[in-house]
């Protein structure tokens, strides 16, 4: 069996933090699914914490598992409305702290 070797890049790597949306970024208290913009509420300290991570050089990436879409409770469009709403609110509160809320399609 022939062994292959891989070279290790000398390029600096980016640091990243992957953050779950519901329950971490925003409160899910009182709601099983967050699919309406008016139900999106940041958890206490989130904006300040994200700003500290970003200042320390971390890329901020928001991930979310939306089982309500698969169950037909709400649509992808509903989910994107909430994501855009959250991003706009974050931009309003902290101009420099904007995580990557893009869809991985």
Any idea which residues carry the catalytic annotation? 20, 22
Q: Which two tokens stand for residue 94?
A: 């902290």
- Determine the Cα–Cα distance for residues 59 and 97; give it in Å rounded to an integer: 10
CA proximity to 68, closest of 33, 25, 105:
33
CA proximity to 104, closest of 79, 73, 68:
79
């Amino acid at each position: 069996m022939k062994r292959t070797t891989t070279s290790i890049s000398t390029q600096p790597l980016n640091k990243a933090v992957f953050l779950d949306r519901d329950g971490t970024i925003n409160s899910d208290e009182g709601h099983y699914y967050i699919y309406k913009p008016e139900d999106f509420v940041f958890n206490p300290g989130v904006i300040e914490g994200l700003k500290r991570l970003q200042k320390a050089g971390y890329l901020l990436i928001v991930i979310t598992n939306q089982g309500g879409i698969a169950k037909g409770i709400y649509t992808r469009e509903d989910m994107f409305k909430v994501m855009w709403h959250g991003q706009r609110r974050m931009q309003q509160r902290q101009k420099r702290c904007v995580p990557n809320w893009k869809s991985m399609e």
